Amino acid sequence: MAHKARIAVLVSGGGTNLQAILDAQKSGVITHGEVVLVVSNREGAYALERATNAGVESVTLTRKACGGQEAFEHALIETLEAHAIDLIVLAGFLSILSGDFTKRYDKRILNVHPSLIPSFCGAGFYGLKVHEAALEKGVKVTGATVHFVNEIPDGGEILLQKAVRVYPGDTPERLQKRVMRQAEWQILPKAVELVSERIVTEEH
């Protein structure tokens, strides 16, 4: 296939979801898109090493170095435009993007959230906090959701969801690992392929 959707993955930490996308490219789950850029908002994030290992260009942009959120988003837009990015994937990206930014990339930003939205989502729900809340509530089923990003945290249109069982004696850490393995790493690459295919089809 000549034309592929050009993907930027935004990260803040270890980059396990980035790895799932890179692996899905290799294994042929993702055929209509290609990761061409990884952007970290944290110096030294391990995800940057994953990008290097995969031969993908990476950039670090921090709010502090840019001098605030507005300048950070401006620099991010410039970087995305310089790389002709079609699709942005938030993979453990721990910075809320403004409404102005998300409007600019309507239906072009994907996020994976470690619960079945609308449960345990919105401002303040990220990482282990989501799994702590699920266990506190005593739910028997949790999971992950891939959704488009808009100005409301975890508020955009849902693309894919996958349920994961909660077992007696689960800790937040154990549940987090199971949700990643059984849900996040499965549905995020599928959603990336779905949207990439849509982008490529629209352009031809």
| Interatomic CA distance for residues 162 and 187, integer angstroms | 7
Q: Given the residues 32, 113, 131, 147, select the one marked as catalytic.
A: 113
Q: Which CATH class is domain 5-112+146-158+185-203?
A: alpha beta
80 touches 97 (CB < 8 A): no
170: left (phi over 0), alpha (psi -120 to 50) or beta: beta
Residue 143 CB neighbours (<10 A): 24
* Spans of all domains in the chain: 5-112+146-158+185-203
Known catalytic membership, residue 3: no
* pLDDT score, position 123: 87
E-assigned strand segments in the chain: 5-11, 33-40, 57-60, 87-90, 109-113, 141-148, 158-165
Q: Per residue of the chain (204 residues), what is the pLDDT tens digit?
A: 568 999 999 999 999 999 999 999 999 999 999 999 999 999 999 999 999 999 999 999 999 999 999 999 999 999 999 999 999 999 989 888 999 999 999 999 999 999 999 999 998 898 999 999 999 999 999 999 999 999 998 999 999 999 999 999 999 999 999 999 999 999 999 999 999 999 999 876
* Backbone torsions φ then ψ of 62, nearest 5 degrees: -115, 150
10 touches 89 (CB < 8 A): yes
139-190 pLDDT per residue, tens: 999 999 999 999 998 999 999 999 999 999 999 999 999 999 999 999 999 9
* pLDDT score, position 10: 97
Closest CA to 98 of 148, 152, 158, 155: 152
